[in-house]
Structure 1
């Protein structure tokens, strides 16, 4: 591509997650390191909210789906990229699990997923792949529609406010724990965050993502119908806006006072 910064389209991720990058993705993540960094945050939060049946809409290579299965949740694993989905199935099988997988585009999620869930999780900074405001609204509405009346959406994102406003570099303490693997922003503006992923063998890959601001995401969630939205920073309830690498948004569907 003549101008890599011009790739600001929701469909772009399909070309970015090629087989070679997907095969290396677990080097970037390091499942054991990530499990230690996260602790039991998502498991405890889901249990606290009474969720048992979970739809993981951004399965990736399967990390959270496997974590939740091993914690006793009923999990359906969805992803828009078939290469990622195949890798997740393979990873889970090596750990003694058979994933229930669905290939689905979030914007038309309920064409592919015909069930109701206690919780939808969209993790790993995945929502940032949607470059268009209408796509984001449509996806959130689809997540909302597949939840039970008292269901919850848990969606995370990089702390793009810190990147945009303060040029604070991510520390990778939580999500990117792989040895000698670098994930760094090459370009950030209000409409694009381009990250470069460098591996020990010299290979590099790029992802073009939309820099989601915290207030904007919270507002979208409320506009599609979620009644209560709380944001956590790097798995803590209190934080200064410039500190966390990642923000975790927990959006509840039920009205305040619902039984």
Structure 2
């Protein structure tokens, strides 16, 4: 049964001017139950699976990864896909509502997720293991509003990886949004039908997105930090990742201004006397 949209399910940004809210902790109040219940409509699981095909599966297998930590599990799309392809997955998220939904979704595939409610900034306090790979997908890293938080999270990811581990992290093409305005093919990521996801307000410190669902006219928002591609890559290098390759909408060769999303694949392996800088 579909959840009815009502006043009690509205997000509370704590004041009359939501664009003033630029705090990492905001996500905990944004992912209310009503929004979480609509999240799978936004993703469009079947269309998303077709659009990304086996990109992440292939990238992990090429690097010999078997044990994966999904730090932005959301409603479980990637955790479930990876388990179905033979990976050992631990599913973490900062939202207990998201984890509950992911667990529920996995049961429909006869899968029992191993879940952890964890804040990335203190990831290794709650996750006591080492992994071949960490994935941080769904534009989730943009929930971190301060550089200190971003550096701390990346350092936690780095510490949770084995020596030859790999981090796969994606983000919207905020360069294009900031420099030329918003446009989207809605082909690769948010593939749901009868759903509109567009920025309501953008400046150098905030991208406030509005999500409209036509089936019940519900509206939700997310406040996110507009990360530029090269800035994200620089932080990864400075934390210690040695080789970083960036794809545009799953393509190795691309025109930067035309992409909806970037996917960074950052390797921890120590590289000596090699030109590791890639697009």
Q: TM-score range by the shorter chain?
A: over 0.9
Q: Is the 8 A contact 2:182 2:199 kept in 1?
A: no
Trace 1:149-188 onto structure 2 (pairs within 5 A): 149-188=163-202
Output the CA distance in 1 between the equivalents of 2:226 and 2:182.
14
Length, aligned pairs only? 258
Residue of 85, 89, 93 corresponding to 1:75: 89
Output the CA distance in 2 between the equivalents of 1:193 and 1:135.
17
Output the CA distance in 2 between the equivalents of 1:233 and 1:52.
25
The corresponding residue for 1:205 is: 220
TM-score in terms of structure 1 length: 0.98
TM-score in terms of structure 2 length: 0.91
Output the CA distance in 1 between the equivalents of 2:19 and 2:151.
24
Output the CA distance in 2 between the equivalents of 1:48 and 1:188.
37
Ranges in structure 1 where 5+ consecutive residues have no aligned partner: none
Question: Helix, strand or coil for the counterpart of 2:121?
Answer: helix
Question: Helix, strand or coil for the counterpart of 1:164?
Answer: helix
Residue of 132, 137, 141 corresponding to 1:118: 132
Residue of 146, 162, 176 corresponding to 1:148: 162
Question: Helix, strand or coil for the counterpart of 1:64?
Answer: helix
The corresponding residue for 1:109 is: 123
Q: Is the 8 A contact 1:85 1:101 kept in 2?
A: yes
Output the CA distance in 2 between the equivalents of 1:145 and 1:114.
11
Moved over 6 A (4+): none
Q: Is the 8 A contact 2:182 2:198 kept in 1?
A: no
Output the CA distance in 2 between the equivalents of 1:216 and 1:181.
30
Q: Is the 8 A contact 2:73 2:92 kept in 1?
A: yes
Question: Helix, strand or coil for the counterpart of 1:242?
Answer: helix
The corresponding residue for 2:231 is: 216
Residue of 241, 244, 252 corresponding to 1:237: 252
Ranges in structure 2 where 5+ consecutive residues have no aligned partner: 1-14, 274-279
Q: Decide which moves more: 167-176 or 201-210.
A: 167-176
Q: Is the 8 A contact 1:168 1:242 kept in 2?
A: no
Trace 1:35-46 onto structure 2 (pairs within 5 A): 35-46=49-60
What is the RMSD of the two structures over their aligned residues, measured on CA atoms?
1.0
The corresponding residue for 2:209 is: 195
Q: State the Cα distance separating 1:171 from its structure 2 match.
A: 2.0
Question: Cα deviation per residue 1:202-256 (whole Å; 9 max; x = unaligned)?
Answer: 1100000000000100000001100011100000001001111000000000122
